[in-house]
Amino acid sequence: MTSASLASSSEALKRPPRRINWGLILTYAVVIIVTLTMLAPFVWMLSASLKLDRDVFAFPIEWIPSEPRWQNYIDIWTKIPLGIFVFNTTKLTVIVTVLQLLTSSFAAYAFAKLQFPYRNALFLAYIATIAMPWQVYMVPQFILMREFGLNNTHMALICLQAFTAFGVFLMRQFYMSIPDELCEAARIDGMSEYGIWWRIMLPLSMPALSTLTIFTFVNTWNDFLGPLIYLTKTDLKTIQIGIRMFITQYTQEYGLIMAASVVSLIPVLIVFLALQRFFVEGIASTGLKG
């Protein structure tokens, strides 16, 4: 055995044993417990969607049904016009999401990169509306839409949700992290403010736009109170209102309710999984510069 191997062996013997990091183990244990706790309702919903009504609340819970009832996923399309509800929800969600991306990014560019009188005061006044619950001005909004003749139309929901103070705040915080020198250089080259917003700011703000897309899509898709107030015709209702049709005066079809809930959850999961790479980056970067 050479002297080098002997030296390395002696150093290995002298090296103290690795200590167990109990703090890290405890952190992982807490994270796993919290994750399982949050996933449990969704797993129960998926399990209940494959059961008869009498078996949904059976105890102990049969997480994997011995006889899955796939017929529930067929009945939800025949008992109510679920296809129309999905189309209406998709239409409203896509239109509102696109409009919020345009209006929020455009207004945020003005608040972040343009100089005009009372800019900060206007921004604070606009952002302050976030603290006001929607229920406070719900009735005046309804009266306004009724006076405009937009009651019982999709246009009422589109007009009310096309602008969002949260989206302006999110996009402005991200734009503040972009150097002003880029805009100044573009102005020197003769580019208009519209061109700077379209050619420079939007391409650089993909993380923030993806984050806003997820928030807007989820909120609009899951909106229940808005369609409940403004939409009364069956051919205009959304999927969240349609699920309520499985609850009648004398009975509640829990298996069908859970099956329809699973179907309504699929688009949200697709959008989130497609944009999750930008989501964390957008949340982290919007607070870099105030």
What are the boundaries of each domain within the chain?
Answer: 3-48, 72-285
For residue 289, the model assigns a pLDDT of 46
Alpha helices in the chain (DSSP H): 3-14, 22-48, 53-56, 72-79, 82-113, 119-127, 138-147, 154-161, 165-176, 180-188, 193-196, 202-204, 206-221, 225-230, 239-243, 254-285
User: Does the structure show a pLDDT above 70 at 229?
Assistant: yes
**Quick check: 164 and 215 in contact, CB under 8 A?**
no
pLDDT band for 16, please (50, 70, 90 cuts). low
Burial of 25 (0-12, 13-18, 19+ CB in 10 A): exposed
Name the CATH architecture for the domain at 72-285.
Orthogonal Bundle (1.10)
pLDDT band for 290, please (50, 70, 90 cuts). very low
Rounded CA-CA distance 84/79 in Å is: 12
For residue 20, the model assigns a pLDDT of 74
For residue 89, the model assigns a pLDDT of 94
User: Does the structure show a pLDDT above 90 at 103?
Assistant: yes
Structure token digits, residue 4: 């080098």
User: What average pLDDT does this structure show over 68-78?
Assistant: 88
User: Does the structure show a pLDDT above 50 at 45?
Assistant: yes
**Quick check: 142 and 229 in contact, CB under 8 A?**
yes
Average confidence score pLDDT of the chain: 84
What's at 204, amino acid-wise?
L
Beta bridge partners of 252: 247
pLDDT band for 283, please (50, 70, 90 cuts). low
The overall longest dimension of the chain from CA atoms, in Å, is: 96
Q: Which of 30, 57, 27, 21 is nearest to 257 (CA)?
A: 57
pLDDT band for 288, please (50, 70, 90 cuts). very low
User: What average pLDDT does this structure show over 267-271?
Assistant: 88
User: Does the structure show a pLDDT above 90 at 129?
Assistant: no
Rounded CA-CA distance 117/111 in Å is: 11
User: What average pLDDT does this structure show over 4-33?
Assistant: 70
In angstroms, what is the C-alpha Rg of the chain? 27
Give the dihedral of Cα atoms 139, 143, 144, 149; nearest 10 deg.
140
Least confident of 94-108, 176-190, 214-228: 176-190
Q: For the whole model, what pTM was predicted? A: 0.82
User: Does the structure show a pLDDT above 50 at 48?
Assistant: yes
**Quick check: 123 and 172 in contact, CB under 8 A?**
yes
pLDDT band for 75, please (50, 70, 90 cuts). confident
